[in-house]
Chain A
């Protein structure tokens, strides 16, 4: 029987779109003939708003682009402005930034893996296990800057304030605990028959495609491309720490999941080293409140939990940016989705979307 294909909207209100994002699937039975992405439901016009505010006032915006990874947003923006204005950063601030970025990566990957497994149909159990550890990371953030989610901690030329004295001992405690927690997740998930059956060979993105779509982050590494800005273009204190880049082989959902899990381990490794190597000293270079960088442009980029997060800022010598652009990894990682899910079934599309790990705040900005 030949009939019309069925068009269903996954989203904007749907349990597994991770925000307000819409996926228009054209189906033949359960098989996907075509997939169209509709985004913009969370557009807040950040790039335009930023042109009206001073350079420092823009830092809270960077929290709110990728709200699951506020620290890295702060960091990327501050790096860009520091590059533009030529502001040095004291070494202790570099290390604090590294610690915060890695903690944030751990917390963000907790959410990424948890929601991915949720999309595979687990009834919240792995997610809630990971939330438990994420809570502890957020407690540390709260200790350092008073906020848990939208931290607003980094400043141009350093960080807002020095770490409180109890921060490092508590971090040390957490770092001791985390490896066994990660081992717990691995035991629960990596060899889980159902997860292997569901995610293996699904949503395949080959290395060529990944590069052609300029995908980045765990998604690129899941496709077997060893690329990490922390190594390729070191910033903060990453040059001084040792870590490995986890790389997948087959570029499927399962590999992306494995890469994230392995990156959590590497983050803990970096944190361990940072705990021993963090120097004392000032944490901020004095910067005028109404900073006026010289006319010019700069691009600051970091390896955020989702990929290459870049801030392109242009100054005309005024107190606010002339142009402020965010190269958001979520948006760019999302672009190959239709190609990845064509020919698969609805559940596959859902877990493929889950494995990309988007934050809609960052997709739409």
Chain B
């Protein structure tokens, strides 16, 4: 993108902020003031965006799920029911917050506040545009992983502090899942870092822009692993085990009501946005769209990608049943982890070959895209077969149809 560097260049709202800061600097204000102002502006923008997006997506999720489930969804409040989230928010705000008698008051109070913080903080390093990033950390990727996993601490506080057995079970499940899927997530990200050679998020986007490709083509397996691991971490079906409604009522936030519950809901949505943003930045080219970013604001492209990924989560929620906790854990350790390790190995080998042969990117990248997709599919299928996907007990069956009564057809299911 040719940078105009003018404050009115709407394609990157960072210009306006930069121009304003420059203007402040010219007036001879103390050096800490521009720093403070930029932080405040960025924070306000992020919070505003996160809250508005969340409000919109509460509506969108309910409408989409309703479409999936052949019903109408909220359509009374405002046009198309668009004001429904506002009504919900007002309801949540005005509800009584009950603290159970046996609860640990401090932890119970702290958990809903604390759980939102990591989600919002992680947003700080997400580049919405070339200059639209609050903190352009050179360890952005690591920062996201590190910060977003601390949310589990507060989830556990909630479960522990509620003095409720369902909450406790939910909290234990949540911690167990975090430990398993964090590894998968980090390995998936590692492969990207190996490819790009940087963990600054802006660099990753510009790398994809430079080679005119998206990492989804080069790292399909990594994306798959990351998506699955993230859907576990943000508690969405098929892995909403920590708050499995049909089993443990609402998991760790069973005892929460009113705005405290609203905070958990908010944390969940914003964490979902962080995941979607990470996918958009790392695998879908961030704010770039093969030159279109010259004409369309980059942040708009980025948001469309982000919402697209989030839509995927909604779609899954409307489609899939839930796994059991041991199956989910087994899936992490036996299936995803080896695949992710192989993926990192593959990425490393490919980079070494590229560096050694010094072949032009136009030749190397297409070969690897095709190769990695083929290898990805092969590995997934092969590993599934190896892990016993075709075992008799995993095979679907049909019931027998008999005409006469009186016979017994029972046969124990063979243990494999």
Contacts and interface: CB of A to CB of B under 8 A. Distances in A.
Interface in A61-88: none
Contacts of B319: 122, 125
B166 interface: yes
A327 interface: no
A190 interface: yes
A117 interface: yes
B410 A251 contact: yes
**For the complex, would chain A's binding face be called helix, strand, loop or mixed by DSSP majority?**
mixed
A182 B33 CA distance: 67
A108 interface: no
B318 A125 contact: yes
Interface stretch (A49-57, A314-322, A343-351): A343-351
A124 B413 contact: no
Contact of B405 (A30, A194, A228, A258): A228
Contact of B321 (A7, A122, A227, A252): A122
A197 B69 CA distance: 24
B397 A249 contact: yes
Contacts of A206: 410, 412
B249 interface: yes
B32 interface: no
B330 to A, nearest CB: 10
A261 B401 CA distance: 12
Interface in A132-148: 132
B408 interface: yes
A348 B245 contact: no
B411 interface: yes
A132 B70 contact: yes
Contacts of B68: 125
A262 B394 contact: no
Interface in A204-237: 204, 206-207, 221, 223-228, 231-232
A250 interface: yes
B327 A249 contact: no
Contacts of A16: 246-247
Contacts of A339: none
A118 interface: yes
Contacts of A251: 410
Contacts of B409: 224-226, 247-249
B169 A30 contact: yes
A204 B42 CA distance: 58
Nearest to A252: B413
Contacts of B404: 226, 231
A345 B172 CA distance: 14
B357 interface: no
A200 interface: yes
A173 to B, nearest CB: 19
Interface in B311-341: 317-327
A221 B400 CA distance: 10
A132 B68 CA distance: 13
B246 A249 contact: no
Interface in A321-357: 345-348, 350
Contacts of B69: 124-125, 128-129
Interface string B219-258: 0000000000000000001101000111111000000000
A350 B401 contact: no
Contacts of B65: 123, 125
B399 interface: yes
B252 to A, nearest CB: 15
Contacts of A149: none
Contacts of A190: 396, 398
Question: In the complex, which range does the number of interface residues on chain B fall in?
Answer: 35 or more
Interface string B281-312: 00000000000000000000000000000000
Given A121-B237, A223-B410, A6 B165 contact: yes
Contacts of B169: 8, 30, 346
A250 B403 contact: no
A61 to B, nearest CB: 30
A227 B394 contact: no
Contacts of B244: 121, 347
Contacts of A364: none
Contacts of B410: 206-207, 223-225, 249-251
Nearest to B250: A15
B214 to A, nearest CB: 28
Interface string A112-132: 000001111111110011001
B101 interface: no
Interface string B366-397: 00000000000000000000000000011111
B28 interface: no
Contact of A345 (B166, B245, B326, B402): B326
B246 A15 contact: yes
B94 interface: no
Contact of B246 (A119, A192, A200): A119
B407 interface: yes
A196 interface: yes
A262 B397 CA distance: 12
A204 B318 CA distance: 29
A347 to B, nearest CB: 5
B384 to A, nearest CB: 10
Interface in A8-41: 8, 14-16, 30
Interface in B64-118: 65, 68-71
A132 B394 CA distance: 30
A226 B399 contact: no
A21 to B, nearest CB: 14
- Lowest 6 A-B CB distances belong to which pairs? A121-B322, A224-B410, A207-B410, A244-B401, A224-B409, A122-B321
9 contacts: A14-B249, A125-B68, A200-B393, A227-B405, A227-B406, A231-B404, A249-B399, A249-B410, A250-B410
Interface of A: 6-8, 14-16, 30, 117-125, 128-129, 132, 190-192, 194-198, 200-201, 204, 206-207, 221, 223-228, 231-232, 244-252, 254-255, 258-259, 261-262, 345-348, 350
Given A8-B169, A15-B246, 13 more contacts: A6-B165, A15-B249, A16-B246, A125-B318, A128-B69, A194-B321, A206-B412, A225-B408, A226-B402, A227-B405, A232-B405, A247-B409, A249-B399
Interface of B: 65, 68-71, 165-166, 169, 237-238, 240, 244-249, 317-327, 393-413
